[in-house]
């Protein structure tokens, strides 16, 4: 029996700007998104019926899970895809603003595409993924991209210089619809500078990338969950000037150019926040190695 093992990388937002509320109820956004090496592991194998196994009690093991919705979507379009068991080893915190569900969904679709030789290109996969969620198209590609529209329109950007991150996810979650619903875009006069970040990427200027970081959703999330603001202030006080909330929160991350500084900061922060996570940027080579195929006897199959 053939099997696919997929590494599903988390994302952070280096810049997240909200431009306006659209007529369809969504918000028009402009975001610089970056894949990081915090990752879930997905195993796909044929089964008598579709089902999910997971090691995380906070992940519903049912067909409402995005990973399983990805299976049924692919089966809907491609009848050669049989029932599948999805085994999901979670390392990305749940409801964290790190696209954990979206990247699992993308990983399942990438794995099925290769396992059953569907021949779908990246644009095809992005289009299908957008049917299930706005972050999924980015999670198909990356590692660094500009996301516009409601987040589903993806334009690759120059690779981000190596950066290092310390992430802290509070014990509570934040409702993304509530964060957007509470946002009063018209009242906000200062917006993060997406173009400045893009110029930093083009010039391979890590310092400029860090100085350009910003997230307009912080205004709304901090109102709804003041403890996220307290967390950000606490992480700045630990000695990092480049601290930002990812997505709609509640995860907050500190960013560094130098790995040694990041590791030292991680040791300091871990004393106060034992669940802190150390991560770094993902490059294109790692993305291209996400899917590994195995044959009947467990021997890896070349995907070249």
Residues of the chain with pLDDT under 50: none
**Residue 302: predicted pLDDT:** 63
**Residue 203: predicted pLDDT:** 97
**Residue 238: predicted pLDDT:** 95
Active-site residue identified among 11, 90, 169, 232:
11
Determine whether 11 is an active site residue: yes
pTM of the model as a whole: 0.92
**Residue 15: predicted pLDDT:** 97
**Residue 303: predicted pLDDT:** 57
Give SS3 for 264: helix
Fold of the 164-280 domain: Alpha-Beta Plaits (3.30.70)
3-157+283-297 and 164-280 in the same fold: no
Domain spans of the chain, in order of start: 3-157+283-297, 164-280
Active-site residue identified among 17, 104, 135, 169:
135
Give yes or no for a cis peptide into 212 (omega within 30° of 0).
no
Q: Is the dihedral of CA 196, 198, 200, 203 positive or negative?
A: negative
Which bin fits 298, alpha (ψ -120 to 50), beta or left (φ > 0)?
A: left
The answer to whether the beta carbons of residues 170 and 250 sit under 8 Å apart is yes
List C-alpha distances in Å: 136 to 72, 99, 200, 219, 250.
16, 8, 25, 25, 19
Of 161, 148, 170, 133, the C-alpha closest to 253 is 170
Burial class (CB within 10 angstroms; exposed 0-12, middle 13-18, buried 19+) of 57: exposed
**Alpha carbons 10 and 280: distance in angstroms, whole number:** 11
Give the CATH class of 3-157+283-297: alpha beta
């Amino acid at each position: 029996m053939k099997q696919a093992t997929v590494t599903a990388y988390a994302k952070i937002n280096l810049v997240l700007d909200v431009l306006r509320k659209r007529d369809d109820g969504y918000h028009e956004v402009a975001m610089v998104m970056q894949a990081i090496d915090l990752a879930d592991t997905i195993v796909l194998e044929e089964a008598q019926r579709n089902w999910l196994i997971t090691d995380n009690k906070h992940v519903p093991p049912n067909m409402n899970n995005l990973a399983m919705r990805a299976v049924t979507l692919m089966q809907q379009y491609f009848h050669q895809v049989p029932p599948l068991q999805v085994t999901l080893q979670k390392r990305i915190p749940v409801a964290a603003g790190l696209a954990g569900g979206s990247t699992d969904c993308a990983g399942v679709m990438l794995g099925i595409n290769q396992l059953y030789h569907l021949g779908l290109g990246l644009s095809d996969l992005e289009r299908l993924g957008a049917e299930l969620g706005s972050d999924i198209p980015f999670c198909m590609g990356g590692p660094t991209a500009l996301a516009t529209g409601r987040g589903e329109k993806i334009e690759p950007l120059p690779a981000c210089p190596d950066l290092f991150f310390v992430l802290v996810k509070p014990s509570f979650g934040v409702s993304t619809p509530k964060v957007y619903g509470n946002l009063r875009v018209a009242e906000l006069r200062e917006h993060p500078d997406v173009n400045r970040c893009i110029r930093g990427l083009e010039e391979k200027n890590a310092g400029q990338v860090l100085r350009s970081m910003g997230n307009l959703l912080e205004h709304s999330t901090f109102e709804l969950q003041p403890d996220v603001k307290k967390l950000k202030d606490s992480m700045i006080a630990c000695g990092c000037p480049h601290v930002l909330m990812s997505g709609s929160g509640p995860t907050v991350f500190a960013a560094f150019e130098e790995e040694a500084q990041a590791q030292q900061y991680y040791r300091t922060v871990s004393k106060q926040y034992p669940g802190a996570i150390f991560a770094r940027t993902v490059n294109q080579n790692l993305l291209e190695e996400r899917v590994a195929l195995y044959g009947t006897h467990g021997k890896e199959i070349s995907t070249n």
